[in-house]
Amino acid sequence: MNNNNSYGKLEKLKSRKILGTVFGKGKSFLNFPVKVTYLISETPTDFPVKAGVGVSTRFFKKAVDRNRVKRLLRETYRLNKSPLIQYCTENNLHIAIFFLYVDKQLPEFETLQTIMQAALKRLINQLEKRQGGKESIGKE
């Protein structure tokens, strides 16, 4: 059984309270067409990285299209998340991430795959910079 590539219930960002905090106090960057919003949690959670995905109804009126994009985002995250989880466990970090798709066109899996890899690398780099400065979310 290969648990490394699963995306189980513990890994999903579902709490409205945490989601509100992520969007309210979190940092974000755009790796077009994916906007990544993240927040380093001060309290430990049951899993080091909690992730969620979303698509705007403004650009995709049909639920079928929104669901397809969300499915693709979840799949690309699932396949590429291991370096991020490894970094967070090694540094005892707990973060919540939300991936928001902001383009108007349906993505191809391959392009979304490379974009997700780049976004996760950029996120790890930003976390390393924050760790280097010993800066925490609560002291902002």
Tokens of 86: 């490894």
Residues 6+ away with beta carbon under 8 Å from 75? 109
pLDDT at residue 109 in the model: 96
- Residue 133 binned pLDDT confidence (cut-offs 50, 70, 90): low
- Residue 96 binned pLDDT confidence (cut-offs 50, 70, 90): very high
Architecture of domain 8-126: 2-Layer Sandwich (3.30)
The answer to whether 13 and 100 have CB atoms below 8 angstroms apart is: no
pLDDT at residue 16 in the model: 94
Q: Is the peptide bond before 33 cis (omega within 30 degrees of 0)?
A: yes
pLDDT at 132 over 80: no
- Residue 43 binned pLDDT confidence (cut-offs 50, 70, 90): confident
- Residue 138 binned pLDDT confidence (cut-offs 50, 70, 90): very low
- pTM to 2 decimal places: 0.89
Over residues 17-35, mean pLDDT: 95
- Residue 45 binned pLDDT confidence (cut-offs 50, 70, 90): confident
